[in-house]
Amino acid sequence: MEYEEVKPEHRVLLEDRERLLVSGVEEVERFDEESILLTTSQGGMEIQGEGLHIEQLSLDGGDLKVEGRVTSLSYDVETPGRGGGLWSRLFGP
């Protein structure tokens, strides 16, 4: 009998651009007060803002809670001809 890998559900809830809850988080790559790079069950994600603080992180449950002013949320999407997604554009070849 074969088992399929079940990816955790991925949800994003942003309240008043100041409280962000993300589920399906697999890893936090790096963070500071202006950006957070993470890997979710749906791929790479970047959160940009001002005064960002990780209030809670549970990798066992895959939940992340961020407080601060969120200005942008983006996912890693490979674009033909650009040679890679978000991670390669940020960190280079």
The tens digit of pLDDT for each residue in 33-89 reads 999 999 999 999 999 999 999 999 998 899 999 999 999 999 987 544 444 555 555
Tokens of 34: 């202006």
Q: Is the pTM of this model over 0.85?
A: no
12: pLDDT strictly greater than 90? yes
Report how far residue 58's alpha carbon sits from residue 60's, in angstroms, rounded to the nearest whole number: 5
Q: Cα angle vertex 29, ends 24, 34, to 5°?
A: 100
Check whether 10 has a pLDDT greater than 90. yes
- pLDDT score, position 81: 44
